[in-house]
Amino acid sequence: MKRPVVVRWIAVGATAAASAAIALAMPSVQAFAADNLSLGAGADGSSKASGTSYGNVRDGDTATYWSPASATGYVSVKWSSATTVSSATIRQASGGGSISAWRVLNADTGASLASGSGSPSTITFSSTSLKKLTFEITSASAAPRISEFETYASGGSNPTSSPTAGPTTSPTTGPTSNPGTPTGAWPSSAGTVSISGTVNVSGTFDGGMKTYCCIGDGSQSESQDPMFKIANGGTLQNVILGSPAGDGVHCEGTCTIRNVWWNDIGEDAATFKGTGGGTSYVIGGGARNGSDKTFQHNGNGTVNISGFYLSGSGKLYRGCGNCTNSYQRHVKIDNVLLNDIDMVAGINSNWGDTATITRVTLTNASSATVCGKYQGVAKGSEPKYLGEGWNDANCKVTQSDITRR
């Protein structure tokens, strides 16, 4: 039941998506989190290109920037008294050189807190009390343009060469937060974070409602890397995924995805890959502009989706019908608003899958299937569609659970 990729916009969403696409080029004074420690701090550095200023990296305005006099150099933010910092976000203005290697230094001691290759975005490191923090560009194609050097007290453990989000809180078992009833309104972005590869998440990663952009080519290719990879027990929250978003989000075990928004679904919004049982949660958030499935369940266990908004996609959920390994899978869907879709949930009845579906509102989807049954098959074959189920062993849903508008 694949559909051609089409562009569907709701009025409130068009503005947010357009803003995300051009955020790097537009002024955005005071657009970032109020807990950005760099706002009001001092700044200095190694050298500066004509017309640029060190202070531009801590003014909250992405239209201004600092650029070194050559391809390499450093810029620092500094405070009059010791300040505890454990993460930094680097924002780059367009038109500069590409960074290929960098490091973050405790300028008080000269100690390296983090380093990496490629274009940096959010950098986390061990919580450190200092008066001066330095971002050093050690290799670049030409002089980069650093528009913001944000610093925060919250963060996690030292990153690998790929961007890595460390834990800030311990994940809970069975999240109980109520996302409220979805309305179809799309959130405003608090800024843009440029990433060039997968962000690895362990513990809790809070994106502060910023737009993370972009990897992949926007196609249905399953060979694309995910934008976020969540380790077993991890939580991804308050994130907007720009377009293209590669293969979306991968949950390697059980995970929680809370208040996450996809501007474009691409191949899949999220893929649940864990094979150790347990329950993964999607709490609140939304997605739009897809051609097939939104949440793909390749592993086993249960996926619990609540308070979610979806517009313009084939299916909200699909249990894989032809993966390398066959599993019994379960999905629980409650309190969701689905616009212009083909199917709420697709499951494999011959493997004992179940879908428990309550409080679903369907708009512009008069012919949408609620619980579609498939015959799961071996990898390399195509699952056979068996028909729709109601109030039976596999499809635990009644007509009264569905509102069509």
* C-beta separation of 85 from 105 below 8 A: no
Task: For residue 146, report the phi and psi dihedrals to the nearest 5 degrees.
Answer: -100, 110
Strand (E) or helix (H) holding 21: helix 11-22
Is residue 155 predicted with pLDDT exceeding 80?
Answer: no
Kindly report the pTM of this predicted structure.
0.60
Domains of the chain by range and CATH? 11-16+168-404 (2.160.20.10), 36-153 (2.60.120.260)
Token pair for 69: 């006099």
Strand (E) or helix (H) holding 145: none
pLDDT of res. 60? 83
Lowest mean pLDDT among 60-64, 86-90, 124-128, 172-176: 172-176
Task: Verify cis geometry, omega within 30 degrees of 0, for the bond prior to 214.
Answer: yes
pLDDT band at 312 (very low <50, low <70, confident <90, very high): very high
Is residue 169 predicted with pLDDT exceeding 50?
Answer: no
Q: b/e per residue, 58-94, with b = 16+ CB within 10 A? A: bbbbbebbbbbeebbbbbbbbbeeebebbbbbbbbbe
A 10 A CB-CB count for 325 gives 10
Token pair for 388: 């729709």
- Could you give the CA distance from residue 5 to residue 173 in angstroms, rounded to a whole number? 37
Q: b/e per residue, 206-233, with b = 16+ CB within 10 A? A: bbbbbbbbbbbebeeeeebebbbbbbeb
pLDDT band at 32 (very low <50, low <70, confident <90, very high): very low
Report the candidate in 297, 291, 290, 260 with the shortest Cα–Cα distance to residue 275. 297
